[in-house]
Amino acid sequence: MTESEAALVKQEVRVYVMVFTALAGLTVVTVAISYLHLPTVLAISVALVVATVKAGLVASYFMHLISEEKVILWLLLLCAAFLVALMALPVGTETGIAPLWPFSS
C-alpha cells in the first residue's frame, strides 16, 4: 500500500461518515413523513423516492459504483431492463381482469 493510496482511503472515510449521516437523516425523514398521513399516491411516491435516494447512496459510495468499472454498470443496466419488464408487464396483465377479491364491492 503506497502512501498516496492510504491518504486517498482516509479521504474516503470522511465520505463514508457523511453518507451514514445522510442515510440516518433520510430514515428519520421517511418515518416522519409517514406520520403526516399524506394521500396514498403521494405517500407511496415520497417513500419510494426517499428509498431510491438512500439505495443510490449505498450503491454509489459503499459499493463504490460511482467509481466502478464500466462493465459492472452495463451489467446492472441489463439487469435493470429485465427488472422493468418483470415489474411492469405482470401488473399490466392484471389490470384487464377481475379483482382478486370477488366479494368486494
Residue 69 lies near other proteins (rule: CB under 8 A)? yes
How many residues lie near other proteins (CB under 8 A)?
62
Our finding on whether 86 is near other proteins (CB under 8 A) is: yes
Is position 67 an interface residue for other proteins (rule: CB under 8 A)? no
Q: What end-to-end distance do the CA atoms of the chain give, in Å?
A: 68
**Per-residue binding letters, 18-57, with other proteins (x by CB under 8 A):** -xx--xx--xx-xx--x-----x--xx--xx-xx--xx--
CA dihedral 4, 7, 8, 11 (to 10 degrees): -160
Residue 99 burial by Cβ neighbours in a 10 Å radius (0-12, 13-18, 19+) = exposed
For residue 58, what are the contacts with CB-CB under 8 A and spacing of at least 6?
A: 19, 23
Which amino acid, 77?
Answer: L
Residue carrying C-alpha cell 403521494:
42
- Report the interface residues with other proteins, using CB under 8 A: 1, 5-6, 9-10, 12-13, 16-17, 19-20, 23-24, 27-28, 30-31, 34, 40, 43-44, 47-48, 50-51, 54-55, 58-59, 61-63, 68-72, 75-76, 78-79, 82-83, 85-87, 89-97, 99-105
